[in-house]
């Protein structure tokens, strides 16, 4: 079974349980207390599964098992155990769950012409959602002051003062108009992340939301940049800084160019 198939099976079950937890929590009293605890346990389970997916999908990429035609692996054909050892040469410990800043640089080293983790680049709203998931996960798993302070500052006060993470998880999300729990939003985000990474031609705007434009002077990465003003495709050298658009429409204009990035 591939990494994406394994994760989808886990998250499908999680969403079924989520609906039961939220319904029970709405009853109040002891049921709500139990629901809050169950929501915390379910988020930990889903988060761990998503983290496992990222790690296993990464190794599927370098083994040439996933998306080999789009992103040919320089390590394809080598022993999978050896490939794992090579990935950990620079550091024996990696923070796999996105938006951690360890996965993309390691993938760029192995796939200098592009890799699927760049599909999440500059998807700020989606990255913030994954970051919220990490903050809530850390608050549940750790009782330290730093984890509590980060949860309180970045998550709880966005809506109301939810001292217990489980209370926030089963409460209605402020992001979505239809009644949807924060727990469901985070579980769905894990699935969207996985599909965006593993599909050959994913609908990134649907899965990840809008992409954040980048300005002239940003370091170029593998992929395509399109001018926001005139839609001209920018030709860039990887690692160089994005210049101004030189089209007939934009060249006479003195304002700096704003670019939109496409990973493919």
What confidence score (pLDDT) does residue 118 get? Answer: 92
Instruction: With CA atoms as reference, report the closest residue to 219 among 187, 250, 251, 241.
Output: 241
Per cent of the chain over pLDDT 70 is 96
Structural domain of residue 261, as residue ranges? Answer: 213-264
Say yes or no: 90 and 118 in one domain. yes
> Does residue 158 have a pLDDT over 70?
no
Say yes or no: 39 and 139 in one domain. yes
Task: Check if the beta carbon of residue 110 is closer than 8 Å to that of residue 73.
Answer: yes
Q: How far is Cα of residue 70 from the mean position of the Cα atoms in its chain?
A: 20
Task: Check if the beta carbon of residue 224 is closer than 8 Å to that of residue 259.
Answer: no
Phi-psi region of 244 (alpha: psi -120 to 50; beta: other; left: phi over 0): beta
Domain count, the chain: 2
Look at residues 193, 208, 223 and tell me which one is the last residue of a structural domain. Answer: 208
* Mean of all residue pLDDT scores within the chain: 89
> Does residue 149 have a pLDDT over 80?
yes
Say yes or no: 114 and 145 in one domain. yes
What confidence score (pLDDT) does residue 152 get? Answer: 83
Say yes or no: 237 and 152 in one domain. no
Each residue's pLDDT tens digit, 159-177? 555 778 999 999 998 888 7
Q: How many CA atoms lie within 13 A of 203 on its CB side?
A: 2
Helix axis angle, 182-198 relative to 29-63, nearest 10°? 10
Instruction: Among 31-45, 59-73, 230-244, name the one with the lowest average pLDDT.
Output: 230-244
> Does residue 263 have a pLDDT over 70?
no
């Amino acid at each position: 079974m591939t990494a994406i198939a394994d994760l989808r099976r886990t998250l499908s079950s999680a969403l079924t349980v989520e609906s039961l937890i939220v319904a029970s929590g709405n009853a109040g009293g002891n049921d709500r207390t139990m629901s809050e605890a169950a929501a915390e346990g379910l988020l930990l389970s889903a988060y761990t599964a998503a983290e496992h997916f990222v790690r296993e999908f990464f190794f599927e990429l370098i083994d040439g098992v996933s998306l080999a035609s789009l992103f040919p692996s320089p390590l394809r054909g080598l022993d999978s155990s050896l490939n794992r050892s090579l990935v950990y040469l620079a550091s024996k410990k990696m923070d796999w769950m996105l938006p951690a800043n360890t996965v993309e640089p390691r993938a760029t080293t192995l796939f200098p012409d592009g890799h699927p983790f760049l599909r999440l680049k500059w998807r700020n709203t989606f990255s913030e959602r994954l970051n919220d998931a990490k903050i809530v996960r850390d608050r549940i798993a750790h009782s330290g002051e730093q984890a509590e302070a980060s949860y309180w500052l970045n998550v709880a006060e966005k809506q109301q003062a939810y001292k217990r993470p489980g209370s926030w998880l089963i409460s209605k999300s402020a992001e979505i108009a239809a009644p949807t729990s924060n727990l469901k939003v985070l579980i769905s985000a894990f699935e969207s992340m996985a599909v965006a990474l593993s599909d050959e031609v994913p609908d990134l705007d649907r899965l990840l939301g809008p992409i954040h434009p980048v300005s002239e002077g940003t370091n170029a990465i593998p992929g395509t940049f399109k001018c926001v003003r005139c839609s001209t495709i920018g030709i860039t050298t990887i690692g160089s800084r994005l210049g101004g658009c030189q089209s007939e429409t934009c060249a006479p204009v003195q304002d700096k160019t704003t670019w939109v990035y496409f990973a493919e």
